[in-house]
């Protein structure tokens, strides 16, 4: 139901063509950005592993590393489908992956299945009341910032929902690491977070904030061994910042 409702505008416009117009597969929020991502898919189809920002007129070296669009571009080349279709199909496929990851993640916190289902439904469909107060608060974040609402993120570019998948997976492995003190779990969490640093680097503020504050709080409560908490921080944080360092270096050199 969520997938159908989320893609209803796309389905409607594709099935109701207007004479003299071509539907470009975009919607109102972040409409300018869509073709930046489509250009990444095109570059991936053409054999590139590192991308240029084609919205710049200056000379540049192709050094943008975007794991999501590398994979989508290669898949589009393999299946011989238009980049705009690859964009939307990848978004829908990642939506399904997100559903599965979210369900398993919520299972960490709810023992009763009914409570887990309620949390699941709220996460996928809940929003603010910006639509009702737009006349007085036109800039309400829940109607124009996709990352603020999961339902909006599902309708955005593929890497938006991938970012949420990576955050949940990172937290999932981090929590497992705290329970058993297994270094492998922290390394898995680090892989999720470093991939996130190439897709939505600003989400790392949320990640680090959550990990640091929860570590302090769990240490005070003595819920987990202090050695497990320290081990997690010493492994995850340096690895995360290698991805950020690459992004900063790329910006300065290019």
The alpha carbon of 186 is separated from its chain's Cα centroid by a whole number of angstroms, namely: 20
pLDDT at 173: 92
SS3 47: coil
Q: What is the pLDDT of residues 200-225, one digit of tens each?
A: 988 988 898 888 888 887 777 777 77
| Share of residues in the chain with pLDDT > 90 (%) | 45
Which of 2-16, 22-36, 91-105, 179-193 comes out lowest in average pLDDT?
Answer: 22-36
* CB neighbours of residue 51 within 10 Å: 22
The alpha carbon of 9 is separated from its chain's Cα centroid by a whole number of angstroms, namely: 21
Mean pLDDT of the chain: 88
Residue (of 13, 199, 203, 227) closest to 90 by Cα position: 199
Calpha distance 42→77 (Å, rounded)? 9
Given a cut of 80, whether residue 28 has pLDDT beyond it is no
Calpha distance 98→102 (Å, rounded)? 6
Copy the structure tokens of residue 233: 């921080």
Compute CA distances 187 → 72, 98, 117, 191, whole Å. Answer: 25, 21, 30, 6
CB of 239 closer than 8 Å to CB of 193 = yes
pLDDT at 142: 83
């Amino acid at each position: 139901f969520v997938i159908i409702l989320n893609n209803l505008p796309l389905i409607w416009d594709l099935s109701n063509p207007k004479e003299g117009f071509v539907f470009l597969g975009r919607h109102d929020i972040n409409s300018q950005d869509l073709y930046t991502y489509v250009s990444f898919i095109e570059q991936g189809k053409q054999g590139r592993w590192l991308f240029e920002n084609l919205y710049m007129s200056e000379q540049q070296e192709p050094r943008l590393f975007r794991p999501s669009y590398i994979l989508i571009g290669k898949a589009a080349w393999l299946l011989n489908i238009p980049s705009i279709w690859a964009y939307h199909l990848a978004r829908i496929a990642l939506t399904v992956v997100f559903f599965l990851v979210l369900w398993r993640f919520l299972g960490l916190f709810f023992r009763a299945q009914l409570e887990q289902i309620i949390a699941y439904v709220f996460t996928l469909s809940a929003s603010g009341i910006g639509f009702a107060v737009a006349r007085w608060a036109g800039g309400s974040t829940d109607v124009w910032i996709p990352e603020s609402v999961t339902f909006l993120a599902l309708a955005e570019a593929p890497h938006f929902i991938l970012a949420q998948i990576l955050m949940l997976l990172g937290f999932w492995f981090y929590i497992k690491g705290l329970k058993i003190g297994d270094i492998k779990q922290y390394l898995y969490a680090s892989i999720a977070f470093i991939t996130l640093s190439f897709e939505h680097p600003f989400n790392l503020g949320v990640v680090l904030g959550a990990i640091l504050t929860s570590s302090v709080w769990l240490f005070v409560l003595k819920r987990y061994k202090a050695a497990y908490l320290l081990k997690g921080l010493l492994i995850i944080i340096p690895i995360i910042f290698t991805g950020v360092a690459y992004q900063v270096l790329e910006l300065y050199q290019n």
